[in-house]
Amino acid sequence: MDAVFGPGQFLNEVIWQRTGAHNSAGRYGRATDTLLFYARSASHTWNAVYTPYAPEYIEERYHYKDSDGRLFWPNQVTGAGI
C-alpha cells in the first residue's frame, strides 16, 4: 500500500478480533483481521459509522459488570478449532 499511496498517506491500522484465540496445527490460530487505512491526499473526509448491538446480542454475551456498573464480556483466551 505504501507503493500505491505513499508512506505519508498511511493513517491507521485497525485490528479486528473475529474470534477468541485458538490453535491450529503447528502454528498460532488466526483470530484477527488487519485493515490498513490510507488516504489519497491530506484532505480526506472521515465518516464515523456506528451500529448499535441488538438487545439479543447484549443479553447473550454481556453478563458481567465492572466497578462502574458497565457490562462487559470476558472473551475466551483459548478455544478449540479454527
pLDDT of residue 79: 55
Nearest C-alpha neighbor of 16 from the set 43, 35, 41: 35
pLDDT of residue 80: 55
Question: Residue 78 pLDDT > 60, yes or no?
Answer: no
CA distance 62 to 73: 5
pTM of the predicted model over 0.85: no
Read off φ and ψ for residue 13, nearest 5 degrees: -120, 130
Over residues 8-55, the pLDDT tens digits come to 999 999 888 877 666 677 777 777 889 999 998 888 888 989 999 999
CA distance 80 to 24: 9
CA distance 64 to 23: 27
CA distance 48 to 46: 6
